Structure 1
Amino acid sequence: MLKEKGESEQNYRDINVGTIQKFLAPGPFLAGLTRSTIQKLSTSIGLLGFQKKPHNLFACIRHHTTLAATGAVYGPQNPFLDPVIETSWWDFMPGIVKLLFGFFPSIMAWRNLRARARVAAAFKEYFANNGHVEASSLVKTMFEVNTTYGFELAEIAKMEIATCLALLSTSAIATFWTIFHLYANPIALADGRHDILAAIVGEKRNADGKLVRTVDLSLIKEKCPVLYSTFQETLRYHSSVISAKLVLEDMVLADQHYLKKGSTLMIPGPVVHSDTSIWGANANQFDHKRFMRNRVDTSAPNASAFRAFGGGATMCPGRYLSSNVIPALAAMIILQFDIAPISGRWVMPTTTKADIWNALPKPDYDIKVAVTPRKEAENVEWKFHWGISEEGHELSL
């Protein structure tokens, strides 16, 4: 319950939204959060090729992105470090649709409710043990806002489910599809690997004579057009975002659609993203170079037509973090590893069972793959950073 302080519930919501938008907008906090996430991913992903066993590609990516993202946000007492909590979170997710529709959830979604309760209990313990004190500024600030408005610890813990949902719902899916399209297309993979050479900011030999290459992943958007275009095309091709807009005035759209003031306009992203008048005759095909700035065969798509993160005031506040981390993770993987499906060929999974509420559809089934260190890079030690000074040191805040 909100404490009676004269402020309305609307004020509280505005403060919450404003806090999230402030921290996740481009600036020092976003850079620090990106850097922390990439450091954790670099450490964990670097061990993949030395595990002599097949991996389920989506499950593997989901595990590493979950621990890295939550670790960067929640600090050393991150509840997701407990495998039971990580598993419980992903057991809860499929039940969201049943909970949204409210059709006998205690019967139809009891397993999901039980999993959610375990996650909420873990966060209650986390806050009770002052885990937020060592966490990111976002978590500490949100905790202060919630306690100021009179929320009890149990309520604050439950509200953290929404933060986790925003943090984890699409990042692993977007990374999976980006990796799939890179490895399934040898040309895209070769182009992407060559691209990243522009982000190498340092080379030296260590004491053992091994070549050490330092990559500044903050340069991807600027200097790696193929890789970043592949990421954007992945979002365009797979996005299932539906934007909702309130009609403020009576109007006629495109001289044929009457929109009445006060009504809700639904904008289905997949329809916009497959419009051939916007994206060309090959709109239904995956073109990893579609978003490259230096293409001369077609004009750049209108920015408003790219709706992977929604649009307007309701645009996803986490878009900058996702746009930093996902291409960076893809770069780390394709530089270090060869990945091949155990079946012998890449086949795109169907998405007929995907959650209708999610911004990207998860695959109906996983792809079992073999991950091996690249022979071309076996004598190279890769160091990945986010932001490098002219003297070659990682930037600090």
Structure 2
Amino acid sequence: MNILFHLVLSISFYLIAILIEKLIGPHLEKDEPPLLNHKIPLIGHVLGLIYYGPNYYTSVAEKDRPPMFTLGIFGTRSYVVNTSQIIASIQKNARTLSFAPLIPYVAERIAGLRAELCRTWFVDDGTYTKGMGADHAKLIHHTLYTIDGSLDVNAAVLAELKPLMDEIPSWGDKFGIYKWMIHVISQTSFGAVYGPDHPMNDPQVEKAFWEFENNAGSLLTSAIPWLTARTAWNGRKKLAAGFLKYYKAGNKQASNFVSMRRKLFEEHGFRVEDIAQFEAGMSTPILSNTAPALFWLIREIYSRKPLLEDIRKEIQGIITTSVDENKEPQHTLEVAKLKKECPLLIAAYHEILRLNGIGTSARRVLQDTMLDNRYLVKKDTLVLMPFSPVHQETKAWGANAKEFDITRHLDKENRRPAVTFRSFGGAPHLCPGRQIATLEILCIAAMLIARYDVEPTLGYWTNPKLTYTMSGIATPSHDFDVSMKPLPGTAGNWNYRMGDVKLKFPLASN
């Protein structure tokens, strides 16, 4: 009797959920992408996103393989794109599908910026071309996006890296490789952008940053973040306090980008507390993708001995060695030669970005638009473009699209369309700091490979599961200890040298 009662109750709840879903679910027009139903009504997609993270879109793409579908959650509709062909159409319709309207929402939710400041981000008729937000976009373009604008940051990156690579032996016989990478990336990136007095000099601020970054996604959906997104909330609070101290001290040796951004914000009514709050939330792109990308690059290269040796030979070819007056060896890594003389390293970098790129680009639909002459997207909806399905398209990447294979990036005769590589976003919203981040990652990797043998203390390289955070690159689920020992013949002083060369790496999404 008890079993029968629970069975009837379960069936009743199931039928009620189906009925509610039918009543509140999106009612699609003829040409809208097909609605993707879940076997668990009402909450099925929510559970899938919670459990699988961004990889949920990939699992759906593999199972059903619709080029584009509608996802209905609690009466709302979003469109999810699974093919590069549709993405190409979205990029052609940049006037009606834009990321710009989402920026104030992210600034308020992720950064905790005052609502009144977010509301004045754009002050125009809906074209998103006027106001502080538009001025900020222009500032980013001129100071980070262009080669000339980023010269000072590139030079600062190399200056910050040198002592950090020299101090590796001080870490001891064994240490967590990802912990080391997080520290190096934190100090290098913040030092280059914010100057030598940057907030990350305080170990507690550095710890708070990563607590915030790893949990920032919870702030987007939480109505009471101080309670239900407590880890991210507290991490951001400590980070903002660090930035407030930094800005009150004058940020005198900051990069041109930071100095000009502070001036812009003050012109638009930001108090110093507002600037610190904004920086706390929006500084995450500086680090969030760089550390995991470096991890996967080093893991994939060092776990493949033949590849490691081939890449090491490449790097040795761009190192010049001399002897100073004290007969001390002086080794210089010629950074400008990385682009043309280290194709294997750059190909490996592209491949780890492709395999571990799990981000999702989003666009707001500003007016009804027909995509690829077959799919209608309605005004005031979201279009989501997860990286993974496109990065695993067999048409673009071959039958072994899920496997690590750097040769696919070495074939200059058959270049793939840029739209099939999404790790840096897509036009017109490419990551403005992608060249700086690439320089940093490749210079760390090149110096490490040239100078150190890296061995896991377990005796083999584990393959950690992917952890899905707000970053566009999956982070490893756990750290593991390694030993880093200097290679024979590497004693002496080491430096980077780039000079005034305007270096631009051949990135697949350029």
Amino acid at match of 2:269: G
After superposition, the Cα gap between the structure-2 partners of 1:337 and 1:388, relative to the gap in structure 1 and judged at 3 Å, is farther
The SS at the match of 1:372 is strand
Deviations 1:212-234 (A, max 9, x none): 23211132122210011111111
2:159 equivalent to 1:31 = no
Select 1:304's aligned residue among 419, 440, 446.
Answer: 419
Shift of 1:293: 4.6
Shift of 1:340: 0.5
The residue number in structure 2 matching 1:137 is 256
The SS at the match of 1:134 is coil
Select 1:239's aligned residue among 330, 346, 357.
Answer: 357
Higher alpha-carbon Rg: 2
2:318 equivalent to 1:206 = no
Shift of 1:44: 0.8
Of stretches 264-273 and 228-237 in structure 1, the one that deviates more from structure 2 is 264-273
Q: What is the distance in 2 between the residues matched to 1:125 and 1:51?
A: 29
Q: What is the distance in 1 between the residues matched to 2:258 and 2:369?
A: 42
- Report the number of matched residues: 379
2:317 equivalent to 1:191 = no
The SS at the match of 1:282 is coil
2:177 equivalent to 1:57 = yes
Amino acid at match of 1:386: M
Amino acid at match of 1:244: A
Select 2:341's aligned residue among 194, 215, 223.
Answer: 223
Does the 8 Å CA contact 1:38/1:329 hold for their aligned counterparts?
Answer: no
Does the 8 Å CA contact 1:35/1:385 hold for their aligned counterparts?
Answer: no
Superposed counterparts of 1:152-167, under 5 Å: 152-167=271-286
The residue number in structure 2 matching 1:361 is 474
Amino acid at match of 1:260: V
Shift of 1:271: 0.5
Q: What is the distance in 2 between the residues matched to 1:250 and 1:378?
A: 59
The SS at the match of 2:476 is coil
Deviations 1:55-102 (A, max 9, x none): 101110010110111011111221110111111111222331221111
Does the 8 Å CA contact 1:216/1:387 hold for their aligned counterparts?
Answer: no
Shift of 1:29: 3.4
Amino acid at match of 2:375: Y
2:79 equivalent to 1:79 = no
The residue number in structure 2 matching 1:335 is 450
Q: Could you list the runs of 5+ residues in structure 1 that have no partner in the other structure?
A: 390-397
The residue number in structure 2 matching 1:315 is 430
Shift of 1:290: 2.5
After superposition, the Cα gap between the structure-2 partners of 1:101 and 1:27, relative to the gap in structure 1 and judged at 3 Å, is same
Shift of 1:388: 6.6
Does the 8 Å CA contact 2:369/2:378 hold for their aligned counterparts?
Answer: yes
Q: What is the distance in 1 between the residues matched to 2:181 and 2:160?
A: 13
Shift of 1:26: 3.1
Does the 8 Å CA contact 2:330/2:492 hold for their aligned counterparts?
Answer: yes
Shift of 1:38: 1.8
Identity %: 26
The residue number in structure 2 matching 1:326 is 441
Q: What is the distance in 1 between the residues matched to 2:455 and 2:449?
A: 12
Select 1:280's aligned residue among 372, 390, 398.
Answer: 398
Does the 8 Å CA contact 2:152/2:255 hold for their aligned counterparts?
Answer: no
The residue number in structure 1 matching 2:59 is none
Deviations 1:116-168 (A, max 9, x none): 112111211211121x2221111110010111111111111101123411211
Q: What is the distance in 1 between the residues matched to 2:163 and 2:189?
A: 13
* Root-mean-square deviation (Å): 2.4
Select 2:240's aligned residue among 120, 130, 151.
Answer: 120
Deviations 1:1-20 (A, max 9, x none): 55999x82851100111111
Select 1:383's aligned residue among 495, 503, 506.
Answer: 495
Does the 8 Å CA contact 1:3/1:150 hold for their aligned counterparts?
Answer: no
Does the 8 Å CA contact 1:218/1:324 hold for their aligned counterparts?
Answer: no
Amino acid at match of 1:291: H
Superposed counterparts of 1:162-181, under 5 Å: 162-181=281-300
Select 2:389's aligned residue among 271, 275, 297.
Answer: 271
Shift of 1:348: 1.1
The SS at the match of 1:89 is helix
Q: What is the distance in 1 between the residues matched to 2:282 and 2:153?
A: 15
The residue number in structure 2 matching 1:8 is 123
Q: TM-score by structure 2 length?
A: 0.70
Shift of 1:358: 1.7
The residue number in structure 1 matching 2:82 is none
The residue number in structure 1 matching 2:462 is 347
After superposition, the Cα gap between the structure-2 partners of 1:327 and 1:3, relative to the gap in structure 1 and judged at 3 Å, is closer
Deviations 1:318-377 (A, max 9, x none): 1111122111111011111000011110111001x421x3201111101210111112x3
Does the 8 Å CA contact 1:217/1:385 hold for their aligned counterparts?
Answer: yes
Shift of 1:261: 5.2
Does the 8 Å CA contact 2:219/2:225 hold for their aligned counterparts?
Answer: yes
After superposition, the Cα gap between the structure-2 partners of 1:239 and 1:332, relative to the gap in structure 1 and judged at 3 Å, is same
Shift of 1:43: 1.1
Q: What is the distance in 2 between the residues matched to 1:58 and 1:340?
A: 13
The residue number in structure 1 matching 2:60 is none
The SS at the match of 1:382 is strand
2:372 equivalent to 1:260 = no
After superposition, the Cα gap between the structure-2 partners of 1:217 and 1:86, relative to the gap in structure 1 and judged at 3 Å, is same
The SS at the match of 1:267 is strand
Shift of 1:380: 5.0
Amino acid at match of 1:180: R
